[in-house]
Structure 1
Amino acid sequence: MSRNKTAGYKGPYGYQKRREGDGRSCVRYKCGLTNTIQDVLRQRPGWMEVKDDGEWDFNWCDVGWLRENFDHSYMEEHLTRKNLMVKNLKRYRKTLEREAGRIEASKCDFFPRTFELPSEYHLFVEEFKRSPGSTWIMKPVARSQGKGIFLFQKLKDIMDWKKDGSRSEEQRDETQVESYVAQRYIENPYLISGRKFDLRVYVLVTSYIPLKAWLYRDGFARFSSTRFSLTSIDDQYVHLTNVAVQKTAPDYDPEKGCKWQMQQLRRYLTARHGTETIEALFKDVDNIFVRSLQSVQKVIINDKHCFELYGYDILLDQDLKPWLIEVNASPSLTASSQEDYEMKCCLLEDTLHIVDMEGRLTGREKRVGGYDLMWNDGPVYREDVNLETLGSACFTANTHLGCVNDRKKQLRQLLKPFPGKKRI
């Protein structure tokens, strides 16, 4: 780690340092990745890439670099590791019930019944026996892209965890068994053309204390390539929507891909169910973002120079109830199509606008490009909203997920041009 006079930003893949008052306009950056973020950084006016051990102001790096250069307390994945996410949500729900009552606590009922194995195997068995024949899904707590995931309906399919639970602590240490979560499978997902899908939504957190979070208007729905059925629980192309899985399907068409842009999905749902119903749905999704962030607010290290870009995975059921499936600290920036590439480039450009290494913002903005400020130590409301008519059911108002993203027009009005550059 360079030792120049800097402050830092810890982002989705690493730790970035920011010069303070050295009088130079150039932003020196490093990037250890070769996907979309590298393209965005290279095209940013006034930014210059440095190599090897050169001094830098902004470093977009991988988790390995972080672990090598920083205290491990920075690496606690309180929200993005599957078992820790559920643990923190359960604790937060209990706190709400104790301090605010059951109605308030019920607003956290957006994640499926979940147990960590092998440590909670016996608790899981008790729950499993209450609803025989139901479907559960097993997920490794620390893997991604659908690796190691499988569905099951019988206890004999997970006997390895039962065996491990009967061993002594010393025996378990000698043969480390990978931790999994066993999660109640959503057996009634909302289907389009008979296929299951989930939502990938981007949330940028620039501060935890106080909590300040931005929601990006764009995102996408990821579809399975095979029609949904519970009679084929071993078919990953039916149940797993991860692009890394779906692109290996025999009938996968790389030209068509397996994604809808968020605007397309919102238009489809509105046409089928009406504006009022879908507005309520997206407010429920907003609630997931804010409650999940509040659940880890007191345990995540807060640094005024840090930000995190999260990729939320949300599943809808037939009743249009949204379920939180996973939160990703390193959402994939690899594009699966030209449309996907353009969306991710805009997302990353606007992320850099908010991080604001150039000092072009006032700090009072409610919108920057495709991002809308949804929480700033309390809910953020649109200027055109009458607060008296919102009612207690509305959690946030300044969110536009899946709405028109006229980011270029907005940025032209908001940002002063870079030195020596025309307005964008």
Structure 2
Amino acid sequence: MAKNKSSGFKGQYGYQKKKDIESRSCIRFRCSLTNTILDVLRQRPSWVEAKEDGEWDFYWCDVAWLRENFDHTYMDEHVRICHFRNHYELTRKNLMVKNLKRYRKLLEREAGRMEAAKFDFYPSTFELPFEYHLFVEEFKRNPGSTWIMKPVARSQGKGIFLFRKLKDIMDWKKDGNRFEDQKDEIQVESYVAQRYIENPYLIGGRKFDLRVYVLVTSYTPLKAWLYRDGFARFSNTRFSLSSIDDNYVHLTNVAIQKTAPDYDPEKGCKWQMQQLRRYLIAKHGADIVEILFRDMDAIFVRSLQSVQKVIINDKHCFELYGYDILLDEQLKPWLIEVNASPSLTASSLEDYDLKCRLLEDTLHVVDMEGRLSGKEKQVGGFDLMWNDGPVYTDDSDYRTNTHLGCMNDRNKQLKQLFKCSPGQKKL
């Protein structure tokens, strides 16, 4: 069980001894959210909701609780929690780029430039205020190009804007974001200035990005799973660079698009990943699309490797990341950002069903019930893509074990996986 030390416990000798997980009559959970994940947890067989101040076995917490309580909470061996302690090394925009740059330099020293060049999958990015002068040098080398400013610790498109002139940054600084005077006692909010992808791949004239889900259950060794389902998020307005002030053109966040005057909540602005893959195959052929999806697989693995030695590994922790990938017109994938708390609020019935499947399978992989052998390559819609090294299929051509955008045969797979488990409720 888990309990805050401040609630009266005086050291490990006062705790109830760990019971064998298979003998538990129920698994007690807590949840900080009130959306899809809470529905999934409440519907899970033999799981019961713990009281607010009671002991729990599993906690789907928010990052604020993690920051304030993780170091003050005793956790028995079987307890699981949905974030790593310093998850922000990958999920804060500035730290993600810092770690990618650091790891790329390490690879260049140890493996050569060709290996380091494989990290050319994120746009040129600078943290402001700290790299302001480096940014200005790069900006002046590419006159007339478009850049995008993003606050490093906000989400859902808040605080983002595009610009083409340095005077636009000056105007921004005057609006309370003064970062040249480092002696100012006011804490300056950090931003990243990122080269805007001016040639995005368009469908129906509209820009989109991809939301892909990656589940990490360990960093030491690195063990990561890729979910077969995901979706493309479309802008509500046709793409154009003539107006860089229109967020409905340039930002694909659902939180922004649903505020558009002509937004249709029934139609929404998403395609399922399978639909996108079929479209791309029909237009470009299976071989080209296979290369695209393999390139995305490489982005997931290399980004995780860049923080593998930085993240504080803990056997109690797992992380469900939401990756945002943008395709350009050459079908090159670009890593835009990684989310530690990808939205679990559904925008449609189809979206709700997808997220329920995703979360149910996340719980299957985390395996509080102790039903897995540890040798599985697929659990529901998750495929094991890295287990201290690449995971391959049983095919003779050594293709990697990833099926993003392919058929999700999770129901059949789960029935087969758990058919021999005694007492398992029918799926």
Match of 2:395 in 1: 384
More moved, 310-319 vs 66-75: 66-75
Secondary structure of 1:233 counterpart: coil
Residue type at the aligned position of 1:404: M
Does the 8 Å contact 1:25/1:358 carry over to 2?
no
Q: 1:75 to 1:300 in 2, by over 3 A?
A: closer
Match of 1:394 in 2: none
Match of 1:21 in 2: 20
Partners in 2 of 1:422 and 1:311 — Cα distance? Answer: 30
Match of 2:372 in 1: 361
Residue type at the aligned position of 2:94: N
Match of 2:8 in 1: none
Which aligned pairs between 1:184-203 and structure 2 lie closer than 5 A?
184-203=195-214
Does the 8 Å contact 2:4/2:69 carry over to 1?
no
Match of 1:292 in 2: 303
Residue type at the aligned position of 1:423: K
Does the 8 Å contact 2:103/2:306 carry over to 1?
yes
Match of 2:11 in 1: none
Secondary structure of 2:90 counterpart: coil
Does the 8 Å contact 1:281/1:321 carry over to 2?
yes
Match of 2:261 in 1: 250
Residue type at the aligned position of 1:47: W
Partners in 2 of 1:236 and 1:264 — Cα distance? Answer: 25
Q: 1:385 to 1:151 in 2, by over 3 A?
A: farther
Q: 1:76 to 1:360 in 2, by over 3 A?
A: closer
1:88 aligns with one of 88, 99, 114 = 99
RMSD over aligned CA atoms reads: 1.9
Partners in 1 of 2:31 and 2:370 — Cα distance? Answer: 21
Residue type at the aligned position of 1:185: Y
Partners in 1 of 2:406 and 2:156 — Cα distance? Answer: 28
Alignment partner of 1:170 is 2:173: no
Match of 2:118 in 1: 107
Partners in 1 of 2:189 and 2:244 — Cα distance? Answer: 22
Which aligned pairs between 1:33-48 and structure 2 lie closer than 5 A?
33-48=33-48
Match of 2:417 in 1: 414
Does the 8 Å contact 2:90/2:307 carry over to 1?
yes
Secondary structure of 2:91 counterpart: coil
Partners in 2 of 1:351 and 1:421 — Cα distance? Answer: 17
Partners in 2 of 1:334 and 1:357 — Cα distance? Answer: 24
Match of 1:317 in 2: 328
Does the 8 Å contact 2:129/2:190 carry over to 1?
yes
Partners in 1 of 2:163 and 2:270 — Cα distance? Answer: 27
Deviation at 1:68, TM superposition (A): 2.0
Q: 1:407 to 1:263 in 2, by over 3 A?
A: same
CA deviation vs aligned residue, 1:213-236 (integer Å, no higher than 9, x gap): 000000000000000000010000
Give the TM-score taking structure 1 as reference length.
0.91
Deviation at 1:421, TM superposition (A): 5.0
Secondary structure of 2:108 counterpart: helix
CA deviation vs aligned residue, 1:132-154 (integer Å, no higher than 9, x gap): 00000000000000000000000
Residue type at the aligned position of 1:383: D
Does the 8 Å contact 1:110/1:288 carry over to 2?
yes
Match of 2:293 in 1: 282
Partners in 2 of 1:41 and 1:419 — Cα distance? Answer: 21
How many residues align? The count is 400
Match of 1:11 in 2: none
Which aligned pairs between 1:328-407 and structure 2 lie closer than 5 A?
328-387=339-398, 397-407=400-410
Deviation at 1:126, TM superposition (A): 0.3
Match of 1:32 in 2: 32
Partners in 2 of 1:255 and 1:385 — Cα distance? Answer: 45
Residue type at the aligned position of 1:344: K
Match of 1:126 in 2: 137
Secondary structure of 1:311 counterpart: strand
Match of 2:156 in 1: 145
The structure 1 segments of at least 4 consecutive aligned residues displaced by more than 3 Å after TM superposition are 160-166, 416-422
More moved, 410-419 vs 137-146: 410-419
Q: 1:247 to 1:381 in 2, by over 3 A?
A: same
Secondary structure of 2:85 counterpart: helix
Q: 1:226 to 1:385 in 2, by over 3 A?
A: farther
Does the 8 Å contact 1:204/1:215 carry over to 2?
yes
Secondary structure of 2:214 counterpart: strand
Partners in 1 of 2:365 and 2:178 — Cα distance? Answer: 47
Give the unaligned 5+ runs of structure 1: 5-17, 391-396
Partners in 2 of 1:140 and 1:179 — Cα distance? Answer: 6
Partners in 2 of 1:239 and 1:386 — Cα distance? Answer: 40
Residue type at the aligned position of 1:357: M
Residue type at the aligned position of 2:295: D
Partners in 2 of 1:201 and 1:352 — Cα distance? Answer: 18
Does the 8 Å contact 1:360/1:416 carry over to 2?
no
Q: 1:155 to 1:423 in 2, by over 3 A?
A: same
Give the TM-score taking structure 2 as reference length.
0.90
Q: 1:36 to 1:127 in 2, by over 3 A?
A: same
Partners in 2 of 1:207 and 1:190 — Cα distance? Answer: 34
Match of 1:66 in 2: 66
Partners in 1 of 2:106 and 2:19 — Cα distance? Answer: 40
Q: 1:29 to 1:165 in 2, by over 3 A?
A: closer
Deviation at 1:306, TM superposition (A): 1.4
Does the 8 Å contact 2:323/2:337 carry over to 1?
yes
